Structure formats: structure tokens, C-alpha cells
Homo-oligomer: A and B are copies of this chain.
């Protein structure tokens, strides 16, 4: 069922699922076992009609009058998002930003493990980094051996398209792209762009007086 639905579900709904999942995790930490749609919606800062609509994409949850079972709903969402088991991720481009992401510990709690980093410059095999840094030649082998499907791309803009092509050629189907260019990829490959300068620019626009 999931497979058929996938293309019909808006990307924004999937982002909101991530938000709901975080809210549910906080409830679990606080030992709260059930939650009403109103309370969960409020925590996620959406309308409760929106929450209920989002959840209908995934079948029926919750019991009228009793609300949602926190544990059940979060397991279901984790399964849907594919984060129930730790997923291997590689990072390509160990410049400032890449190195920063390697030392960022926020991913593992969320179901992702950066298993290796790659850089064309072998000088960058820095010893202080806890994640091993390999030359680009080892890319194909690592992706095949570890069954990696996702990559974080932190190379400079002029190299990004070529490196993306390599990654896709070796079997990567999901790219989190930090390079400030729009990548051209085949239809079956997903790219999420994170452009920090664009986020600032967007803020900048809205705070102008």
C-alpha cells in the first residue's frame, strides 16, 4: 500500500510527519501515553484539521474520545519514514561545512549514521575526525558493500553536478545537497536542498520594514 501511495503524498506532509514524530518522542520522554489530536496539533503548531488530514494518508489511527496511542503512533511513523533501523549515509566533500556535519552528533539519534566521508583531496584525511575519510576512488566499493542509498553532498558548487552524477552512477538515490546549485538528476533520484544563505535571504526579506 505504501508504495502506491508514495507519489500521492505531498512532501510537506512528510515534513510534518517528522515534526509529529518529534513531538511524540517528547511525550514519550515525559511518560505520556495517549494524546488528543488537538494537543498533538498544538505541539506541532499546525491546525488539528491539518493533523487529522495528514494522518488519513496512512490509514486510520486513534480511537474517538481516547486520542492516539503515543507509542503506537510513533512506531508507525518511524516505519513510514524508514528511520526505525539505523540507515547508513555517506558524506562527500570534507571542507568546513562537511567537517562540521561530520562532527555533528545530531544524526544518530534520528536514525542515520554517517559511515564514511569522501574527498578528492587526500590531504583532508584529518586524524581528528572520528569518521574515516576516503579518496573518491573508494566510493563505488563502499556504496556497494554497505548498501548505502543516501549521501550528503558538501562539495563546492562547480563540482557538485559531477560528483552527484558519480554518486547516482554508483547507486545513490537520495542526496541532501548543500551546494548552492540546482542539481540535474534522473526522476527516480530525490534531492533535498539545504541552502543556508537562502534561508537567511528569505528571513531578510520578511523582516524588512
Residue numbers of A with Cβ under 8 A of B are 2-3, 6, 11, 14-15, 17-19, 21-22, 43-45, 80-83, 87, 89, 96-97, 99-101, 103-107, 109-112, 149-150, 152, 173-176, 180-182, 184, 190, 192, 194-209
Counting every copy of the chain, the complex holds 2
Q: Is the CB of B80 within 8 A of A205?
A: yes
Q: Is the CB of B87 within 8 A of A97?
A: no
Q: Which residues of B have CB within 8 Å of A45?
A: 182, 184
Q: Is the CB of B204 within 8 A of A81?
A: yes
Give the distance in Å from the alpha carbon of A207 to the alpha carbon of B88 in the complex: 13
Q: Which residues of B have CB within 8 Å of A106?
A: 97, 180, 196-197
Q: Is the CB of A197 within 8 A of B44?
A: no
Give the distance in Å from the alpha carbon of A22 to the alpha carbon of B100 in the complex: 24
Q: Is the CB of A182 within 8 A of B11?
A: no
Give the distance in Å from the alpha carbon of A203 to the alpha carbon of B175 in the complex: 7
Instruction: Specify which of B111, B182, B204 is in contact with A87 (CB 8 Å cutoff).
Output: B204
Q: Which residues of B have CB within 8 Å of A43?
A: 182
Shortest C-beta distance, A21 to chain B (Å), equals 8
Q: Which residues of B have CB within 8 Å of A209?
A: 3
For A152, A175, A196, A200, which residue has the most chain B Cβ atoms within 10 angstroms? A200
Residue ID in chain B nearest A199 by CB atoms: B192
